[in-house]
Structure 1
């Protein structure tokens, strides 16, 4: 079975936002799969996706702090037409990546106990973000 959906995530403030539920709600066919893969791809250059701890909200704050330290807005960037947060957002998105892939086992994502899928919004006002979700697998 192959399924593909494109969904719009609502605009989110700068930071790291758990989107696991939004993703799984968009593809209820996961429940029919015995074994498979879910691939999620973000169609933007200033936001990214990652998988990490979903329990402690402090992790989200620390992610933002670490990324801002690693990629400061105060560097002498050349690409500045879209504001001071744009080029650092591109760098952060390239560092973190545009996609995640998760195994599907017995109708569920095979995420670890404390794992969740994050939208990493690197712009102050990034707007709505589009993701393409692709499922591939065998049904029961």
Structure 2
């Protein structure tokens, strides 16, 4: 897991997949480690393994996800730069037990629930603001 400064989830990597979220909690990218191509047969070029995910945690720490086994954390300062390989390749014993991409996505359902809650809150705030302006 990796979070934004406000505490919301930014990056979630599991043995089977990866998920990168935007600052507002919407899904930016999602990929499966075992799937090199999408359902149309074309490579998914906006997520690993075709295009790495790269972002700065702060001025000194950078995370780079190239693939499941090629995930790096780099610390750098004015005098020194250290690069650690923090990823590892996990072997799947039974391919038949892998989840299909057609199944409902737990992240999608979570994001939909949160989106509904936020939308309701914004409508309530708007309603209260309009009543305050009228009075």
Please identify the structure whose Cα radius of gyration is greater: 2
For the superposition of Structure 1 and Structure 2, which TM-score range results when normalised by the shorter chain?
under 0.3
- Greater strand percent: which structure? 1
TM-score normalized with structure 1 length: 0.24
The structure with higher relative contact order (CA 8 Å, sep 6+) is 1
